[in-house]
Each structure stands twice: as C-alpha cells, then as structure tokens.
Amino acid sequence: MTTTFTFLFFSFTLLFSFFSLLIYISRIKPWCNCNTCKTYLTMTWSHKFINLVDYYTHLLQNSPSGTIHVHVLGNTITSNPQNVEYILKTNFNNYPKGKQFSTILGDLLGRGIFNVDGDSWKFQRKMASLELGSVTIRSHAFELVTEEIKTRLIPLISSFTKEKTVKSVTKPEEESKADNISENEDVVLDMQDILRRFSFDNICKFSFGLDPCCLVPSLPISNLANAFDLSSKLSAQRAMNASPIIWKMKRFFNVGSEKKLKEAIKIVNDLANEMIKQRREIENGVDSRKDLLSRFMGSLNSNDDEYLKDIVVSFLLAGRDTVASALTGFFILLSKNPEVEKKIRVELDRIMNPVQDCATFEQTREMHYLNGAIHESMRLFPPVQFDSKFALEDDVLPDGTFIKKGSRVTYHPYAMGRMENIWGPDCLEFKPERWLREGVFVPKCPFKYPVFQAGSRVCLGKELAIVEMKAVVAALVKRFDVRVVGSNQEPRFAPGLTATFRGGLPVEVYERT
C-alpha cells in the first residue's frame, strides 16, 4: 500500500511539474504572437480593465466585423448579430454544445438538458416545453413566488430598514446572520445575498417540493445552497485552466479544487436523490404533486433516478442563479437612475391597489414600462455573459470568419449590449424607453439580444423568469427605497456559470411613507 501511494505521489508530482513547465514556456514564448493572445496570456489586460468580459468588449468594439480570435484558447468570439443568428438558427446543427463543454460540466449537470445535444436534448426540451408551458405549472410557480414575497421577502426587508438594521455578509463560517442585527445603525444589507436566498427558496419548492428556508429571519446558512454555489464556481473554473489535462489530473488523484468539487456535488446529488426516493415512496403521489420533479417522474415513467436527478439539477441551476443575477443588476442600475424608479412607481400606482403587497399575474402583464426596464437591465448586465458552442465541421460565418472543425465559437451578450452599431450612441445608458412603442412593450430581435439564447435553444423558462422578476421589483420598489452603497464603483464579477457580483451588493433600505 505504501509503495503504491509513493509511486502515485511521485508520478503526479512529475506530471504536474512537466505541465507547469509547458505552461511557463507558453507564457514566456507563446505560440501565437498576436497582441490579443499575448495580452491574455500575460494578463496585462487587467491593467486597464476590471473584468475579462470588459476586455473582450473593448476588443469587439474595435473589431470591424465584431468578431475576434483568441488563438491560444482556440476560441472565436463574436458580437455580430448575423453571426449569432447563423450559429443559433441558420446552421444550428453544426454548433452543438459539444463534447468539450459536456465534459467540463458533466460531473455537475450529467445528462441534464443544458449539457447534452442530439436526441437526448430534443426529448428533454419537448418534455420541458409541455410542462413549463402548461397553465397549471405557471399558476403554481406564480403562487410560490407571491407567497415567498409576502411571507418572507417583504417582512425581512422591512425589518432591516432604518429602525432595525443588518450588516449582511456572506461568510461560510457564520452559523447565522441574526447576530449582525443591531438597533440604530445605518442599513448595510447584501441585496445580492437576499435575492439569491429568495430565488433558491423558490426554485427548490418549484423543482423538488422542498423548502430550504433560506430567507427566514435568521438568514441561516444552507449547506445545499453553499454546495451548489461551490459546484457552479469550480465547474466554471475548469474552463479557465490552460489545459483540460490539469483539472483532469487533479480529478483523477482527487486533490485540490477537484476534491472540493466532488464533495460539493455529492451534497447536491444526495439531496436530489433523497427527494426522488421520497417521491417513489409516496403512494399514488406522483401525479398529485405540483413540483417539477413529480411531474417529470410522471411524464418519464422511468426508474432511471440518475437521469431524473440530472434533469432537475439543471433546472435548479437555471432558475436560481439567473433570476438572482438579473435582479441584482437591475437594482444596481435603478439606484443610479432615480428618474426610471419614479416612472416605474407611476405605473405601479396606476395598476395596483394602494394596499396591495403583491401584484396579481394579470397586473404584471400590464406593466409595460417595468417590463422594458427589466429587459434593459439585462441588456447591460446579462445573467449569462457569454455562451459557447463547438463546430462539428469547417464553416464560414456570415462576416467571413473561418471556423475550424472542433474549435470553440462564443457569442457574447455582455459585449453585444454595449455595441453602438447595435443599440446606438446611447448604448451605455439605462433607457427602458428603447423597449416601448406608444407605451407598449415591444421585444427586440433575439439575435441582437440573445440574453435568453435564441433559435432552437431559446430559454423555455423565459416567461416564468420575467414574471417572477416583475413581481419582486413591483413589491420592493412600491414599498422601499433601495440605494446601493458606493454606487459609483464599477462592478467586479466573480468566476461562475452566471454573473455574480464580487463582494455582493451592499445597499441601504428605507421604507417609503
């Protein structure tokens, strides 16, 4: 046993040293001498830009075709709407997620809808379309959101106003945030943390029929939420390695970040499997429950619990992180644009009863200006900042860019929202009016605004997400003034599958009279 361990240890050390040397050599003398690749490898882009996505945006803004190449990554990045339409619709079959992508997220998402192509993807999408498109499931989802707003979100925010405040910080070692509450202090509340808790409660109830109670007054630490966050973060970091061999070696020897990832995914999987087991044990209970898991079990009519787990974990990822990210970006922009806030309140006062805490589903459909404001905020702060595909065959994009078989092709919604040639000279301004025509919301071309993807892979949960965001914003803006602390600072993004603001979103909250 000792001999085997020693052999493995020295083998790993030798291989790690070898690949470290290769990386060092590549950084000293990269095989591509173009300025973009050298800047990326040496990280000198960070001297001028806070985030890598801002550096890519700069490059794309200065590219005549709206397309750039990062040769050392084998990645073609585009902000050209014609290219986006070609990739997501016209020649969709040539640009699947690809084996490379599926391998990176395979441990977390398995065979879930966001990690597969071909027949498996078509089957899950058809099934999900039937479920998410039903009136019953949409009504149930809205009821869950409304209940969480009334019973938890509003009372919690109200308790943290000027009279009773909290300094909310997200540290895993904390047992509870209740100890941070103190009287007669200015409010410093991490709104991103609150919104993530809100979204996690909702999506868990919707997906599993499980209430993790993340938004109860004590603001407890959730092992499931932490494990899910860590899983997403470490899975995304795999793609940032200089070579996939590095993380695959770490996974093989179960060391470092891969060991942490394995442990975090086990927590997520154990809970999902326990939920499935409980559903199996409920006598004739599958069809009587409204949560997504039960409905999928009834539709699948299968005993493949691993497959069920992968499907629901994928929806957990989509429904939690994207909504929280979009709402966080919204409140950042709203805090800087009080005139937009005033117009939203005028609309809410016209549509809602003065004593209403939450809007009805019918009322949310009348909120055209708010709808425009939400879409506008996601233009500037898309929850998914970029998305990649892999070419099956050699191809040429509409702008003349050659794509080699097996190479990565990325479209960049974050950069696209900052392009003058797409949105005009005021592209950096927060203007909900650009989405309105005679006071009525009018959607834009999805290929110039691919926040929800477009074409065959367009997000099935788009309408559910928009309604949830409308309900949250209407409830909070109607009752509170939310002001970002240090609102002039440029946001910094943390690594992850969705946009997460590093350091959270510290706000001061004042109850309106």
8 Å CB contact between 256 and 250: yes
- Express as a percent the part of the chain with pLDDT over 70: 86
459 known member of a binding site: yes
Roughly what angle, to the nearest 10 degrees, separates helices 338-351 and 368-380? 150
Residue-wise pLDDT for 363-412, tens only, equals 999 999 999 999 999 999 999 999 999 999 999 999 999 999 999 999 99
Residue-wise pLDDT for 94-103, tens only, equals 999 888 878 8
Tokens of 430: 């927060």
Sequence letter at residue 460: L
8 Å CB contact between 172 and 239: no
The separation between the first and the last C-alpha atoms of the chain, rounded to the nearest angstrom, is: 72
Residue 471 has what pLDDT?
Answer: 98
SS3 content of the chain, % helix, strand, coil (to 5): 60, 10, 30
Give the DSSP letter of residue 166: E
Residue 19 has what pLDDT?
Answer: 62
Q: Where are the domains of the chain?
A: 52-161+189-511
- Express as a percent the part of the chain with pLDDT over 90: 56
Is the pLDDT at 81 greater than 90, yes or no? yes
Residue 7 has what pLDDT?
Answer: 61
Q: In CATH, which of 2.60.40.1080, 1.10.630.10, 3.20.20.70, 3.30.390.30 is domain 52-161+189-511?
A: 1.10.630.10
- pTM comes to 0.87
Is the pLDDT at 104 greater than 90, yes or no? no
**For 174, phi and psi rounded to 5 degrees?**
-75, 140
Q: Is 185 helix (H, G, I), strand (E, B) or coil?
A: coil
228: confidence class by pLDDT, cuts 50, 70, 90: confident
Rounded distance between C-alpha atoms, residue 149 and residue 156, angstroms: 10
Tokens of 165: 């405040």
Residue-wise pLDDT for 15-58, tens only, equals 665 665 555 445 444 457 788 988 988 889 999 999 999 999 99
Is the pLDDT at 271 greater than 90, yes or no? no
Handedness of CA 120, 122, 126, 129 (dihedral sign): positive
500: confidence class by pLDDT, cuts 50, 70, 90: very high
Average pLDDT value for residue range 235-258: 84
Residue 103 has what pLDDT?
Answer: 87
CA dist list (Å): 223 to 87, 212, 294, 319 = 39, 10, 23, 18
Rounded distance between C-alpha atoms, residue 66 and residue 49, angstroms: 19
Give me the residues paired with residue 166 across strands. Answer: 181
Residue-wise pLDDT for 129-168, tens only, equals 887 888 888 899 999 999 999 999 999 999 988 654 444 4
Average of per-residue pLDDT values in the chain:
86
CA triple 93-99-100, angle to 5 deg: 120
